[in-house]
Amino acid sequence: MKRLKLVLKRIVTFSKKPFYAFYHSKVDSTSWVKGISSIRYSTIGKWSFVNKAVGLNRVEIGNYCSIAANVLIGGMEHGTDHCSTSTKLSNAPYSDKITKIGHDVWIGSYCVIRQGVSIGNGAIVGAMSFVNKDVPPYAIVYGAPARIAKIRLPEDIINELDKSKYWELPPDRARKVIEEIEKSFLK
């Protein structure tokens, strides 16, 4: 009886945990993926956060990234030059392009980012954006299709951030590097 109670307790505990599907993917142990997400053929770097209801297909995500809920990145794209669009009726291959998300990127809710697109370090993608072209580092983009609103930091700060490679450091050290750069430039 005691053993049965322990098994039932474990089942109840497990059922309360968020559900996500990893298929041929690697997520660093320091990163967090919230429930009901599908991650296929993808990698997620260190200290990143992926919120719920996110779909990733053939995506490489850097360190310190924040991805809001209900985002689709690198979704399966069907060929359009065949008679049928159904996967049951056509042998047309899916696109195998890799979508690359740099370090310290923030992607807002309900974004769609096409396969093969690259998003540079420090970029911000506004909520409900459709990204079909590469996004330069430290740019803020939004809209459908996404357009550059501005580059969020001056070039000298961007150069110092890139030189420091703070995204390779653990959070306590990375925070100190960023604070020093901010003190030097933002007086």
Place of tokens 């961007």: 158
Residue 92: its pLDDT value, please?
A: 64
pLDDT of amino acid 21: 72
For residue 162, give both structure tokens. Answer: 């890139």
Does 82 participate in catalysis according to the annotation? no
State the average pLDDT over residues 11-30.
Answer: 68
For the chain, domain boundaries? 16-77+90-152, 153-187
As its CATH architecture, domain 16-77+90-152 has 3 Solenoid (2.160)
Query: Exposed, middle or buried, 56 (CB in 10 Å: 0-12/13-18/19+)?
Result: buried
- Exactly one of 24, 78, 82, 103 is catalytic; which is it? 78
SS3 29: coil
Compute the C-alpha angle 123/142/22, nearest 5°: 65
pLDDT of residue 5: 67
Residues 107-154: pLDDT tens digits? 999 999 999 999 999 999 999 999 999 999 999 999 999 999 999 999
